[in-house]
Amino acid sequence: MKTLISISMLSADFTRLGDHLKEAEAAGTDWLHVDIMDGHFVPNITMGPDQVAQIRQSVDLPFDVHLMITHPLAYIERFAKAGADTITVHVEADDDTDACLDLIENLGCHPAVVISPETPVDAVKPYLDRVDMVLVMGVHPGFGGQSYIPETTERLKAIRAMIDASGRDIRLEVDGGVNFDTLPEILEAGADTIVSGSCLFKGDIQSNIDKFKQLF
């Protein structure tokens, strides 16, 4: 399975967001990672479906939408209509995860689940027969620019083994603290979809993405 870069919009320059995202697209990023925070599930707020729909008009990249919200069922349809391609829900959210995945799939998007650092890796097992991707947080969700939690590497290895045992083509994504130093061990652990923001948007996007790809 091809290794993909999903650049995190959270670290873009919002004073020139459209141009900054176009630069990332031209530089060869594969997906756009869109973090949605509600100020309740995590202590931060980002944007809503209307803003995502506007951004959708700026770039042609697949939208990798990560819902860090307490009640995703109330918003999944709106984000699907706004242009999401993949929608990822936290197993720790209050709403029923199976119901969320049903809705995502019925709306024609790729369903995915995510676990926070304190959640046991076995929490993803019940969903491996129906998701297209598992996202593992390498930091505590809610803020960009955090340092990678070292224990994430073993968590990635464990979930990679679960995915391989399932026999299904499920992507393993990692988000948080991914940079030139941490990327090699993340790839070695079996991740194939790499979310990074601070590292890629700081400085020259083209050279940063090229350097990432050289490590693949």
Structure tokens at 7: 């650049």
The verdict on whether residue 132 carries a ligand-binding annotation is: no
- β-partners of residue 34 are 65
The verdict on whether residue 203 carries a ligand-binding annotation is: no
Give the amino acid at 212: F
The verdict on whether residue 196 carries a ligand-binding annotation is: no
In the three-class reduction of DSSP (H, G, I as helix; E, B as strand; rest coil), residue 180 is classed as coil
Catalytic residues: 35, 175
The CA distance from 174 to 190, in Å, is 10
The verdict on whether residue 138 carries a ligand-binding annotation is: no
The verdict on whether residue 19 carries a ligand-binding annotation is: no
The verdict on whether residue 20 carries a ligand-binding annotation is: no
| Cβ pair 41, 67 in contact under 8 A | no
| Chain Cα centroid distance, residue 143 | 13
The verdict on whether residue 216 carries a ligand-binding annotation is: no
The verdict on whether residue 35 carries a ligand-binding annotation is: yes
Burial 175-184 (b: 16+ CB within 10 A, else e): bbbbbeebbe
The verdict on whether residue 145 carries a ligand-binding annotation is: yes
The verdict on whether residue 197 carries a ligand-binding annotation is: yes
Question: DSSP secondary structure string, 122-171?
Answer: GGGGGGTTT-SEEEEESS-TT-SSPPPPTTHHHHHHHHHHHHHHHTS--E
Binding residues for a divalent metal cation: 33, 35, 66, 175
Binding residues for substrate: 8, 66, 142-145, 175-177, 197-198
Binding residues: 8, 33, 35, 66, 142-145, 175-177, 197-198
